[in-house]
Amino acid sequence: MSKKISIVLTGVGGQGVITAANILGKAAVKAKTGVFVSEIHGMAQRGGAVVCTVRMGGVSSPLLPSGTADVLLSTEPVEALRNICYVNKKTKVITDINPIIPFTVAVGGEQYPKLDEIFKEISAHAELYKVDALKIAKEAGAVITKNTVMLGALAASGVLPFKPEVLLETILEDIPEKYKDVNKKAFEGGMKAVQSA
């Protein structure tokens, strides 16, 4: 039975978390490794918190036990913290550092924690990799490539059972010709961000 790999993807509804999970799943099929992806649709997509899980290798279940994620990939810092139950000391938490403040802060009087505190708390439980996906995406040439940056960062984590090229190729498949170059740059930018961390 091949090694199990569990990746948790989190973020905010509308950020493209489900699309990212789908791309990972497709790459796994291409690499001929077992894969099981779990998504939440519906109500959760109207700006709510989103969690997807992608499991590869010899897995039977779409969900993973607590504390067994190999990677927690988050497109928003507080969403990484919300799902901290999935991590252990060896888990790589890769998160975008750009917050999206939920409306409950403005309307409901809740607090969005200071970024430093969020990162300190994550570091206490797991290996933290911070990625400024917005900046890297801008440098690559399009803000919309933020998720490609994050997938590049994931590819550089060394956890995936296939080469980064397989993932990049899968991302580029559904992208119009004229945007392929910016996405390639974004992916490489994401990889570098983790490699140099």
Partner 1 sequence: MVFIMTEITEDKPGKQILLLGNEAITRGALEAGVDVATTYPGTPSSEIADTFSMIAKEATRQKKDPGFYFQYSVNEKVALEVAAAASFCGLRSLTCMKHVGLNVASDTFMTYMYVGCRGGHIIVSADDPYCHSSQNEQDNRYFALFGGAPMLEPTTPQEAKEMTRIGFDISEQLHLPLLLRTTTRLNHARGPIILNALQKPRKKGYFTKDPLLVTVPSTARVKHPVLLKQLEEAEKLSEKSPFNEIITIGKPKDIGIIASGVSYTYVKEMAEELHLNVKILKLGMTHPLPRKMCETFINSCSSLIMVEELEPFLENQMKALAFDIGSDVKIYGKSSSHFSRLYEYTPDIVAEAFSKIFKVKNPFPKPVFSKIKVPSRPPSLCPGCPHRATYYAVKKAAPKDAIYPTDIGCYTLGKAPPLEMADVLLCMGSNAGMACGFSVATQQKIVSFMGDSTFFHSGIPPIINAVHHNHDVVITILDNRTTAMTGHQPHPGTPFDGMGRPARLINVEDVVKGCGVQHIEIVDPNKIKETTAAFKRALEFKGPSVVVSKSPCILLEVQRKRKAAEEIQLFHINQEICKRCKTCIGRFGCPALYFAEDGSVHIDAAQCNGCGNCVQVCPFGAISAEGST
Residues at the site binding partner 1, with contacts judged by CB under 8 A:
12-13, 21-22, 25-26, 28-29, 34-49, 59-68, 78-79, 81-82, 84-88, 101-108, 110-113, 117-118, 121, 125
Residues 32 and 96: their CA atoms lie apart, in Å, by 29
- Could you tell me the smallest distance in angstroms from the CB atom of residue 168 to partner 1? 17
- Which two structure tokens, joined as six digits, stand for 141? 């040439």
Closer residue to partner 1 in complex, CB, 107/177? 107
- Could you tell me the smallest distance in angstroms from the CB atom of residue 195 to partner 1? 27
- Could you tell me the smallest distance in angstroms from the CB atom of residue 191 to partner 1? 24
Cα 93 to Cα 43, 66, 115, distances in angstroms: 26, 14, 15
Torsion from C-alpha of 58, 60, 65, 70, nearest 10 degrees: 30
Closer residue to partner 1 in complex, CB, 78/154? 78
SS (H, E, C) 41-72: CHHHHCCCEEEEEEEECCCCCCCCCCCCCCEE
Closer residue to partner 1 in complex, CB, 10/188? 10
Closer residue to partner 1 in complex, CB, 107/196? 107
Tell me the Cα Rg of the chain.
Answer: 16
Closer residue to partner 1 in complex, CB, 74/156? 74
Reference 113, options 82, 71, 67; nearest CA is 82
- Could you tell me the smallest distance in angstroms from the CB atom of residue 115 to partner 1? 11
- Could you tell me the smallest distance in angstroms from the CB atom of residue 79 to partner 1? 8
